[in-house]
Amino acid sequence: MADAPAVRVSRLRVVRREREVLRDLSLTVAQGLVTGLIGPSGCGKTTLIRAIVGTQIVAGGEVLVLDRSAGTAQLRDEVAYMTQTPSVYRDLTVSENLGYFATILGARTRDVQRVIAEVDLAENAQRVVGTLSGGEQSRVSLAAALLGSPRLLLLDEPTVGLDPVLRAQLWELFARLADGGVTLLVSSHVMDEAARCHHVLLMRDGALLASGSPTELLARTGQPDLESAFLFLIESVQS
Amino acid sequence: MTATRTWATSERIFRQLRRDPRTVAMLLVVPVALMGLLAWMLPAHDFNQYGPLLLGLFPLLIMFLITSVTTLRERTSGTLERLLTMPMARADVVFGYAIAFGCTAIIQALLTAGLSFGPFGLDVRGSVWLVVLIAVIDALLGTALGLFVSAFATTEFQAVQFLPLALLPQLILCGIIVPRDQLPTVLRWISDLLPLSYAIDATKQVITDSVTSAFWRNILIVAGFAAAALIGGAATLRRRTP
Characterize the bridge pairing of strands A183-188 and A152-156: parallel
What's the number of CA atoms in the CB half-sphere (13 Å) around residue A112? 18
Residue B241 lies in a domain: no
CA angle A52, A58, A63 (to 5 degrees): 35
Per CB-CB distance under 8 Å, the chain A contacts of B87 are 73, 76-77, 104-106
Residue B83 lies in a domain: yes
Interval B74-117: pLDDT, tens? 988 889 999 999 999 989 998 999 899 889 888 988 899 999 99
CB contact under 8 A, A92 and B84: no
B8 CA: distance to closest CA in chain A (Å): 7
CB contact under 8 A, B239 and A104: no
B147 CA: distance to closest CA in chain A (Å): 18
User: Using 50, 70 and 90 to split pLDDT, how confident is the model at B182?
Assistant: very high
For residue A1, the model assigns a pLDDT of 43
> What mean pLDDT comes out for the span B177-186?
92
Domain extent for B147: 3-236
Give the chain A residue nearest B238 (alpha carbons): A55
Between CA A193 and CA B233 the distance in angstroms is 42
B5 CA: distance to closest CA in chain A (Å): 6
* Structural domain count, chain B: 1
Provide ipTM, 2 decimals.
0.89
CB contact under 8 A, A100 and B81: no
Interval B137-172: pLDDT, tens? 998 899 889 988 888 888 888 888 998 998 999 999
Per CB-CB distance under 8 Å, the chain B contacts of A102 are none
Instruction: Please give the mean pLDDT across all residues of chain B.
Output: 90
Could you give the maximum distance between any two Cα atoms of chain A, in Å? Answer: 56
Between CA A140 and CA A115 the distance in angstroms is 9
Residue B105 lies in a domain: yes
Residue B103 lies in a domain: yes
A233 CA: distance to closest CA in chain B (Å): 31
> What mean pLDDT comes out for the span B14-34?
90
CB contact under 8 A, A87 and B78: yes
Residue B61 lies in a domain: yes
Single-letter amino acid, residue B237? L
Q: What is the pLDDT along chain A (239 residues), one digit of tens a residue?
A: 456 899 999 999 999 888 899 999 999 999 999 999 998 888 999 999 999 999 999 999 999 999 999 988 899 989 999 998 899 999 999 999 999 999 999 988 889 999 999 999 999 999 999 999 988 999 999 999 999 889 999 999 998 878 888 888 899 999 999 999 999 999 998 888 888 999 999 999 999 999 999 999 999 999 998 889 888 988 888 77
Class of residue A224 by CB neighbours under 10 A (exposed 0-12, middle 13-18, buried 19+): exposed
Please tell me whether residue A35 adopts helix, strand or coil conformation.
strand
Characterize the bridge pairing of strands A34-38 and A79-82: unpaired
Report pTM: 0.89
Give the chain A residue nearest B75 (alpha carbons): A87
For residue A63, the model assigns a pLDDT of 93
Between CA B84 and CA A75 the distance in angstroms is 12
For residue A145, the model assigns a pLDDT of 95
Residue B46 lies in a domain: yes
Other beta carbons within 10 Å of B137: 27
Other beta carbons within 10 Å of B78: 16
Residue B242 lies in a domain: no
Q: Report the number of secondary-structure helices (H) and strands (E) in chain B.
A: 11, 0
Residue B19 lies in a domain: yes
Residue B238: is its pLDDT beyond 90? Answer: no
Q: Could you give the percent of chain B with pLDDT greater than 90?
A: 50
